[in-house]
């Protein structure tokens, strides 16, 4: 499945607030570790190598 880059999040503001709240009170290292775990969990959810490769490319392009 090709990478979705159009809006696909249900209720973006709620999601963003949850994301920031998950980091509340964490040190920088703890936050980094949380982000790493989160990326792995989401990657597993996506599953497809081709999609993940596209995501990596998109993130690297900045």
Partner 1 sequence: MFQDRYSLAFKLYPYKKSKDQDKPDAVRHPVVIVGGGPIGLATALDLGRQGIPALVLDDHEGIGMGSRAICFAKRTLEIADRYGCGAPMLDKGVVWNVGKVFQDDRQVYEFNLLPESGHRNPAFINLQQPYFEKFIFDAICTEQERGAPIEIRGKNRVDAIDVKDDHVVLSVDTPDGAYQLEADWMIACDGAGSPTRDMLGLGFEGRVFQDSFLIADIKMKSTEFPTERWFWFEPYFKSGASTLLHKQPDDVWRVDFQIGWDVDRKEELKEENIRRRLDAMLGDDVDYEMVWSSIYTFQCRRMDKFRHGRVLFAGDAAHQVSPFGARGANSGFQDVDNLGWKLGLVISGKAPESLLDTYDDERIYGADENILNSTRSTDFITPKSKVSKNFRDAVLNLAERYTFARPLVNSGRLSVPCTYDHSPLNGADDLPGGPVTSRVGSPCKDAPVGHGFLLDQLGNDFAILAINTDVPNSVDIDGINVRSVSLNTTDDLTGALAERYLGSESQAVYLIRPDQHVTARWREYDEDALRSAVRKACGKE
Total site size for partner 1, rule CB under 8 A: 22
> Among 8-16, 36-44, 45-53, which window interacts with partner 1 (CB under 8 A)?
8-16
Residue carrying structure tokens 């159009």:
6
Return the DSSP state at 23.
T
Complex with partner 1: residue 27 or 44, whichever CB lies closer: 27
CA–CA dist 58, 62 (Å, integer): 7
Contact residues: partner 1, CB under 8 A: 4-9, 12-13, 16-17, 19-20, 23-24, 26, 28, 31-32, 35, 58, 61-62
């Amino acid at each position: 499945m090709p990478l979705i880059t159009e809006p696909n999040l249900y209720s973006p503001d709620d999601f963003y607030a949850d994301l920031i709240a998950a980091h509340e009170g964490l040190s920088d290292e703890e936050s980094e570790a949380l982000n790493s775990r989160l990326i792995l969990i989401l990657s597993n959810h996506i599953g497809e190598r081709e999609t993940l490769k596209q995501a990596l490319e998109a993130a690297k392009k900045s």
